[in-house]
Chain A
Amino acid sequence: MSVLVFVEGLNGEIKKSSLEAASYGSQVAQQLGTSATAVAIGEVHEEALTKLGEQGISKVLYDADDRLKQFVADAYVKVIAKAAQQENAAVLVFSNSNIGAAVGAKLAVRLNGSLATNVTSLPKTDGGSFTVTRGVFSGKAFADVALTSDVKIIAVKKNAYDITSNAGSTATVEKISADLADTDFAAAPKETVMQDTDGGVLLPEAEIVVSGGRGLKGPENWHLVEDLAKALGAATACSKPVSDMDWRPHHEHVGQTGITVSPNLYIAIGISGAIQHLAGVNSSKVIVVINKDPEAPFFKAADYGIVGDAFEVVPKLIEAARALDK
C-alpha cells in the first residue's frame, strides 16, 4: 500500500501546485505509515524529478514518451493507472488543476475509487473513516466528505496546502511505460498555445494577483494594473464585464463563471465586489480593495482597504512597490 502523487511539469520544471500536492501526499503517507511515490509524464527535467525528495517523495515513476508532451487525458490516465497498480496505491493525490481534476475523475471510474476535488485539508482518519474537507458553493462553504471506496483520490485546491521542504533529500527516478495505443490519442491536441505573459506570472499559479474592474474605465488605463503587478511579481486578472467588453482576454476573468483563484494576496482595483466575483476570489488569504465608493460591497470581504480614486491611488502603490527591496 502506498500514496501516489501525480505531478505536472511546465517548461521542464514541476508546477508549484504539484509541489503542494507532493507535500500533501507525503504527509498523508506519513499519517498512514507508508511511503509516497510520484508519477510524472512528458517533458520534465530529471533534476526536477530528483528534487521531489525535498517534498518527501521517495521514488518518481517517469514516462518520457514523446507523445505525452501535450496533455491527452486518456493516455495520461493509462500511465497513472499503471503506476497506481504497480505501487498498490491506496491514495492518489493530484493538484486541483484542469488536468488533475480531469484525470482524477477518469481514474475514479477506472480504479473504482472515491474522489474528492477542491480539497482544502489533510484527511481525518480516526475510527477507520477517511474524511477530507472540500470547498463547496463557490467558496461560500466547506463540506466534510467521507471517501468510502478502497482507493481514495484527492485533488488538492491550489494554495491550500503549503510546500514542505527538506533541503537536500532526493528521490530515485524510475522509467515507467504503459502500452499506449493510437486510440489513447484520439483526443490529442492539434495545437497548444501558451499565453504570452510577457515574462510575467501565470494567473492560475500566482501567489499575488492584481485585478482590475470596470472602475478603470477602459483598456487604455490597464498599464496601472500591469505596472503594479510587475512591481509585485504578480499575475493580472479582471472582472467579468471587463472581459465581456474585450478590454482584457477571457482567460483573465475571475469569479463564479471565470477562474477561481486563491492567492496569498488579491488586490482588487475598481471592482465592486459582486457576489459572483467574490465567489472566485474569496479564499485568497489577504484581500486588498481599492474603490472610490465607500459602500462598495467588496470592503466587507477585504483585509485592507483604500477609499479613493484608482487613478490617484495606484500610481502611489506602484511607486512604493518599486521601492521595495526584493
Chain B
Amino acid sequence: MKILVCISNVPDTTSKINFTADNKEFDKNGVQFVINPWDEYALTRAIELKEAKGGTVTVLNVGEADAEPNIRKALAIGADEAIRVNAQPKDAFFVAQQIAAIAKENKYDLILMGKESIDYNGSQVHNMVGELLGIPTVVPAFKLDMVDDTTARLEREIEGGKEVVEVKLPFVASAQQPMSEPRIPNMRGIMTARTKPLKVVEPVGAEAKAEYVNYSKPEKKSGVKMIAPENAGELITLLRNEAKVL
C-alpha cells in the first residue's frame, strides 16, 4: 500500500503567539516548531499499517526549508521518504492544490493528514484534496483499519455520535485522537532518517483565495472574582444575577 501523509510545521503547543508590529504577520521569533499534533496521529497510523501490510509511507510538507527538521523527524519515526513543496503556504486552497498535484503524479492508495492544523485551524485541506482528486474524503476519523486489500473501515466523529464508514481505496482521511499512539523517534530511527530521500520540488501554479490581512489577540480578561469555598453556593447566584449565564 502506498500511503501519503501530509504534515504541517506549526508552533509548539505551548508557544506564546505574537505578531509583527504592524499585525500583518505571525512573529516566528523564539518560537519552536513541531509536527502538527493531529498529523502525528495520521503519521503513526500510516506507519502501523505499513508495518502490518507492507508498502511505503511518503511524507509531504508544503513549506519552506525551515520545516526540514520536522520532516526529518517524520522520517525518523518511520516514514520512508519525504517530499517538500518549496513554497510558503498561502491559504488552504493553495496547499490543497499542491498536495493534489503530487498525489496525481504518484497515485497513492491512501492520503492521510490531521483533522486540522493547530495554527490556522481551518479543517479544509483534506476535503479540498479529496474534491480536487475526485475521491471520497472521510473526516474526522478516529479509527482506520483495512478490511481487505481494497477496502478500509473507518469510524468518524459526527456531532453527538459516530459513523462507521467502509470505503474503497483510494481515499483521503483526516486523523484525530485516538487513531494511534504517536511515537518518539529512537536513535536508530534518527540515524537512518539522515539517509532517507527528501525531495524538494517547486510548487505548481495555484492561486490563493483567502488573503490574511490583519491579526489580533483576544481581549484580556478583567480579572478573576474569587469566592470563598465555604460559600460556594454564592457562585450559582452570581452566575445567574451578575454574569447572567444561568
Report A's interface with B, CB cutoff 8 A.
10, 15, 70-71, 73-74, 77, 97-99, 101-102, 104-106, 108-110, 113-118, 131, 133, 135-149, 186-195, 197, 202-205, 208, 232, 250-251, 253, 256-258, 264-265, 275-276, 279, 282-283, 285-286, 288-289, 299-309, 312-314, 316-317, 319-321, 324
How many Å lie between the Cα of A77 and that of B137 in the bound state? 12
Task: With both chains docked as a complex, state the minimum distance between the C-beta of A261 and any C-beta of chain B, in angstroms.
Answer: 12
Question: Which residues of chain A are near B178, meaning CB under 8 Å?
Answer: 250
Q: Which of B148-194 contact A (CB under 8 A)?
A: 156-168, 171, 176-178
Q: Which of B120-161 contact A (CB under 8 A)?
A: 120-128, 130-132, 136-140, 142, 156-161
**Contact indicator B210/A148 (Cβ below 8 Å):** yes
Can you list 15 residue pairs at the A/B interface with Cβ under 8 Å? A70-B163, A98-B156, A102-B137, A105-B124, A114-B210, A115-B92, A139-B218, A141-B17, A141-B19, A141-B217, A189-B165, A204-B160, A302-B224, A303-B225, A324-B240
How many Å lie between the Cα of A133 and that of B218 in the bound state? 12
**Contact indicator B235/A288 (Cβ below 8 Å):** yes
The B interface, classified by DSSP as helix, strand, loop or mixed, is mixed
Closest residue to A274 on the B side, CB-wise? B14
Task: With both chains docked as a complex, state the minimum distance between the C-beta of A36 and any C-beta of chain B, in angstroms.
Answer: 23
**Contact indicator A253/B177 (Cβ below 8 Å):** yes
Task: With both chains docked as a complex, state the minimum distance between the C-beta of A143 and any C-beta of chain B, in angstroms.
Answer: 5
Question: Which residues of chain A are near B140, meaning CB under 8 Å?
Answer: 98
**Contact indicator B118/A309 (Cβ below 8 Å):** no
How many Å lie between the Cα of A143 and that of B91 in the bound state? 12
How many Å lie between the Cα of A101 and that of B159 in the bound state? 12
**Contact indicator A195/B213 (Cβ below 8 Å):** no
Given A137-B17, A146-B213, A302-B224, output 17 extra A-B contacts at Cβ < 8 Å. A10-B160, A105-B92, A115-B124, A131-B213, A140-B17, A141-B218, A143-B212, A147-B209, A188-B165, A190-B165, A191-B163, A193-B164, A258-B177, A286-B245, A304-B235, A306-B227, A320-B236
Task: With both chains docked as a complex, state the minimum distance between the C-beta of A240 and any C-beta of chain B, in angstroms.
Answer: 8
Q: Which 3 A-B pairs have the closest CB atoms?
A: A308-B229, A105-B127, A320-B233
Task: With both chains docked as a complex, state the minimum distance between the C-beta of B211 and any C-beta of chain A, in angstroms.
Answer: 4
Q: A106-B131, A304-B227 are in contact. Are A115 and B209 (CB under 8 A)?
A: yes
**Contact indicator A105/B209 (Cβ below 8 Å):** no
Interface size on B, residues (CB 8 A): 76
Say yes or no: is B21 at the interface (Cβ < 8 Å to chain A).
no
How many Å lie between the Cα of A314 and that of B166 in the bound state? 44
Report B's interface with A, CB cutoff 8 A.
11, 13-14, 17, 19, 37-38, 92-93, 96, 118-128, 130-132, 136-140, 142, 156-168, 171, 176-178, 209-218, 221, 224-229, 232-240, 243, 245-246
